[in-house]
Every structure is written in C-alpha cells, then in structure tokens.
Amino acid sequence: MRFGVRQFELALMHRMRDLNAQRVEDALHDLGASRAEVRAAHTQWTRMAHSVRAPKGLAALRTILGPPPYRGTQPFGSLTCDVARWVLPSWPELEFEALLGPGGEVWNQWFVRPGGSRTLTFAELTPWKCVVADVGTSFPGASQCEGLAPHHWAVDFVHDGTARRALFVYGLYQRLDPEPPVRR
C-alpha cells in the first residue's frame, strides 16, 4: 500500500485520538475510514520512521505529500531556519509545517495558520480550527509548554479569572482542560 496524503492524515489522527477521540471518530466517518485503516496508517508511518531505507525528514514528507507549495525561511533567535508547508484536505484553512534546522533535519512539524496567528475569543476555541499561536496571541500572559506525549503541546492561560490549559496535537487544538495540572 502506498503511503500518501490520506494515510498521513490518518496517522496524524491516530495521535489526535489521545486527546479528542470523538472528533477523530467524526472525521473518520466523514472520510469513510475505519479504525483498522487508522491503525494500519499509524503502523506504516512508524515502520517508515524506523526503517534504515525509508527517506527521512523533509525527504519523507516530500515523498508522502509532494513538493511543498510553500518554502521559506523563519528567524529563531540568532538562527534562520528553512520552512516547508503543505495544505492537507482535512484541515484546508491551516498548513502543516516542517521547521528545518541548519543541517536540514526536521526540528518540528505541526499545523500553523497561513499568514500568522489569528486573535480569537474564548468562544472561538474550536477543536481542529485553532493552532498554538492563535491561543498564545489571543490570551495575554499565555505560556506554552510541552505536552505529556510525543507531538503534544499545551498553552496555559487565564480566562475570566480561571486558569485553563489548551491541549494540542501536532499544534492543532484538541480540547480545553479547566485548570493546568501541577507540574512536578
């Protein structure tokens, strides 16, 4: 089975199921995809990631998604990194971004909003419609932190006097927890 855009999306959804199982189930229904197809996509993605012969980094993403429609650079402190982005059918308003380090290795891959973040109201925090930068821009004092699993991320913020934690997978908003857990 060729691993293409559909399988890539399903592999992303496999990880998203950790935090928003119902949203993933709804998307699978809309795509006409089964849980078995999701598991197969995840297994194949994992196998490719650990194979010595499979392409790695940007080459792997190019093989799966085709040439990136957007290539550019982005400053990070004293470094300037290369960026590649693709639009995926399940998230047409966003772009899947690969951030490349100076040696060409993929440092990060996640969803971003084309043209930069958007300011949202609290009511506009909708799963699969927002990215990390949107939440960071929308709530003054918001702080980003790593999530509890690979490709998970969190943004802690306060709204109406209540501490909140927005949870993300691949930079895509999944759900809101009422209060951030205490870090040990």
In this prediction, residue 184 carries a pLDDT of 46
Residue 183 has pLDDT above 70, yes or no: no
Q: What is the pTM of this model?
A: 0.91
Residues of the domain holding 132: 122-177
Has residue 38 been placed in a domain? yes
Crossing angle of the two packed helices 5-16 and 57-65, in degrees rounded to 10: 120
Give the phi and the psi of residue 152 in degrees, each rounded to 5. -95, 150
Cα-based distances in Å from 178 to 20, 158, 163, 165, 181: 15, 10, 7, 7, 9
pLDDT tens profile 12-32: 999 999 999 999 999 999 999
Has residue 75 been placed in a domain? yes
β-sheet bridge partners, residue 109: 98
| 49 shares its domain with 67 | no
Confidence of residue 5 (pLDDT cuts 50, 70, 90): very high
Cβ distance 84 to 98 under 8 Å? yes
Has residue 184 been placed in a domain? no
pLDDT tens profile 29-84: 999 999 999 999 999 998 988 888 888 889 889 999 999 999 999 888 888 899 99
Has residue 153 been placed in a domain? yes
